Structure 1
Amino acid sequence: MSCQQLDEAWLKRHPLPAIAQGADKNSRGRVLVVGGAEFVPGALRLTGEAALRAGAGKLQMATVRSSALSLGVLVPEAAMIALPADEEGEIAPAAAEILKARITSCDTLVLGPGMSSGKGARTFVANLLDSLDFPGSLILDAAALVSLRDFDPSRWRVKENVIFTPHYGEMAALSGLSVEEIKARPLAVAIEMASRWSAVILLKGDKSYVASPDGESLVYSDGCVGLGTGGSGDVLAGLIGGLAARGAPALRAAAWGAWVHGRAGRTLTKVIGEVGFLARELVPLIPEIIDGELQ
């Protein structure tokens, strides 16, 4: 099974939408990031800041009430939505009703960073997605993907501009396959899941595969080992969300996100070391890398 190489030549053939001089913050897209928990109160900082660094104009973040205030101070550019928590410190299932009205006023929803895959979190995601009819871009990451294992794809109402960002373990939970089966045929699994869910799949690994529902596929093989660090996936989800908010179609947002994320990691490898750089150190590099490719 063949696929295109995701490289600079592909990016030049598939540029990001231009941002006009004088464009205001609303025209650059409004992102809502939902996730986090009492156990990982700062995860959404990485996702939200990456969305803004990627060019989104406005940011809202929704997390458990105990973390919302401190996170809002940490990211003063964002508006905060405080959500109820369950006994495990995760977003409570009832929070879905609070968010449904908020979702209608955003262009991109990023769901899942910093959440666990516990029963309460799975119920919250199911409650939120079960009746979601959202015309914007939807990025599902981490626990939001694992939560879909009990969700019937026939109930999936969102059919366009959807991106899943699983690593191999999350893909195993989503697909019902073992990690070994996925590693044996990663591209085929990504294509199958893209068709099943009507979503662009970014399957993350040593080589990352991007697959669209119509069968178009890409492979990115120029990352680095240092990106395998806590919070790196949170940055990637926000980066993709920011690109989608500024108008990039789903396949393009996922592909550019994977490439920019990888380039940021390679840059830090040269400056800091092959391993040991932090996920938050990726974030400030995003604008310069994007601008460099747009020249």
Structure 2
Amino acid sequence: MTPLDATWLAEHPLPEPAADTDKNTRGHVLVAGGSQTVPGAIRLTGEAALRAGAGKLQLATVERVVLHLGVLMPEAAIFPLPANAAGELDNDAGEALCRYLGPCDTLVLGPGMGPDAAAEAILRTVVAEPRASLSLVLDAAMIGAATDLAAEIHAHDGRIVLTPHPGEMIRLMGCDAARIDSDPAGLAQEAARRFNATVLLKGPETWIACPREGLLRYPGGGPGLATGGSGDVLAGVIGGLMARGAAPRLAAAWGVWLHGEAGRRLAERVGPLGFLARELPGEIPRLLATIR
């Protein structure tokens, strides 16, 4: 087990854009998810991806809220996805989503999706045809949907990052809740092997596991990060770093550190509790500049 700290980051730098780069070469992120009940979640994810350095952003969500989201997030292109009667993404959303994937480097799938979304049907469609140029971050409802799709995810050759919190990890692995407390590191490594993916098990401390790579441990950014939308931001930071060209494990490690340290900075400035998830992305550029 290796501690994830400034020393590790200095030894494992992110790819840097050339001086003459443009928005296309800095990477193209598509964030898909949300619902009529939680329409703003993917706004948090999308902003975090841009703050992490991605060049272009698309957001795809239930068709009933796309206009409002487009006004809220003028930096992004906005695409509609079909919804069911509950205001969640329905079975046809996967096929619609695949039509938007062509120019994308990274897809972040799941933020803001609720229990009535057709998560497994959507994920099954999206992962059916692996593409070497596309990486994925699976978050929130997509974690549970991945349970029976290990072979399909495995076929993506390590280009997928899974971001479960303890409850999602229990469902993903079909394990007893006691395993989370007794062996979180071993559980994260087992999940990484099963899905051939980078797995970060979130909590007061975060474990980052990847097949054939050493286990990383981050001690945590403080209790203030246990707030609605915080995980959506983390998924976006990881997606933005992957779109920039960082390998999945490297992007996950940097993403966890940036997210946690953003929480620490806000705790010092605002207070240990009460800062908002939407305040986290603004800390990311300064942190990147500092560690660079």
Task: Single out whichever of 23-32 and 91-100 deviates more from structure 2.
Answer: 91-100
- Please name the residue that 2:147 is paired with: 149
2:61: which partner in 1?
63
> Who is 1:262 aligned against?
260
Greater mean alpha carbon deviation, residues 101-110 or residues 28-37: 101-110
Measured in 2, the distance between the counterparts of 1:272 and 1:87 equals 40
Residue 203 of structure 1: how far off its partner (Å): 0.6
| Distance of aligned partners of 1:237 and 1:118 in 2 relative to their CA distance in 1, 3 Å threshold | same
State the identity as a percent: 49
Aligned partner of residue 103 in structure 1, secondary structure: coil
Decide whether the 8 Å contact of 2:29 with 2:107 is kept in 1: yes
Whether 1:288 and 2:286 are equivalent positions in the alignment is yes
Q: CA deviation at 1:104?
A: 2.4
> Structure 1 residue 146: deviation in Å?
1.0
1:9 aligned counterpart, secondary structure: helix
Checking the alignment, whether the CA contact within 8 Å between 1:93 and 1:127 is kept in structure 2 is no
Amino acid at match of 1:270: E
Equivalent residue runs for 1:198-209 within 5 Å = 198-209=196-207
1:3-14 alignment runs, 5 A limit = 3-14=1-12
1:147-226 equivalence runs, <5 A: 147-151=145-149, 153-156=150-153, 157-226=155-224
Q: Provide the residue aligned with 2:121 in structure 1.
A: 123
Summarize deviations over 1:187-223 as a string: whole Å, max 9, x none: 0010111011010011101110001111421000041
CA distance in 2, matches of 1:84, 1:132: 23
Which letter does structure 1 place at the counterpart of 2:233?
A: V
TM-score with structure 2 length normalisation?
A: 0.96
Residues 158 and 198 of structure 2 are in contact (CA less than 8 Å); yes or no, is this contact kept in structure 1? no
Given the alignment of the two structures, is residue 74 of structure 1 paired with residue 72 of structure 2, yes or no?
Answer: yes
Deviations 1:146-169 (Å, cap 9, x if unpaired)? Answer: 111233x22333123211111001
How far apart in 1 are the matches of 2:42 and 2:117?
21
1:102-138 deviation line (CA, Å, top 9, x unaligned): 2121000100000013362332222322344453211
Pick closer, same or farther for the CA change 1:246–1:155 going to 2, 3 Å: closer
Cα-to-partner distance string for 1:229-266 (whole Å, 9 max, x where unaligned): 00000000000000111111111100000001011000
The answer on whether the counterparts of 1:90 and 1:121 sit within 8 Å (CA) in structure 2 is no
Label 1:226 to 1:45 Cα distance change in 2 as closer, same or farther (>3 A). Answer: same
Report Cα offsets for 1:16-39 as digits up to 9, x if no partner: 001111200000000000100011
In the alignment, structure 2 segments of 5+ residues that lack a partner are none
Query: Is the Cα–Cα contact under 8 Å of residues 191 and 215 in structure 1 kept in the other structure?
Result: no
Query: What letter matches 1:155 in structure 2?
Result: E
Residues 55-88 of structure 1: CA deviation (Å, up to 9, x unaligned)? 0000000000011110011000000110110111
1:239 paired residue number: 237
- Distance of aligned partners of 1:90 and 1:119 in 2 relative to their CA distance in 1, 3 Å threshold: closer
Change (3 A) 1:176 1:246: same
Which of structure 1's runs of 4+ aligned residues deviate more than 4 A?
Answer: none
Name the structure 1 match of 2:82: 84
Give the stretch that moved more between structures: 96-105 or 135-144.
Answer: 96-105
RMSD after superposition: 1.2
Per the TM alignment, residue 42 of structure 1 is displaced from its structure 2 partner at its CA by: 0.5
Q: TM-score, normalised by structure 1?
A: 0.95
Give the whole-Å Cα distance in 1 for the aligned partners of 2:97 and 2:42: 16
Secondary structure of the residue that 2:274 maps to in structure 1?
coil
2:147 counterpart SS class? helix
In terms of mean alpha carbon deviation, does 208-217 or 129-138 score higher?
129-138
Q: What is the SS of the residue equivalent to 1:226? A: helix
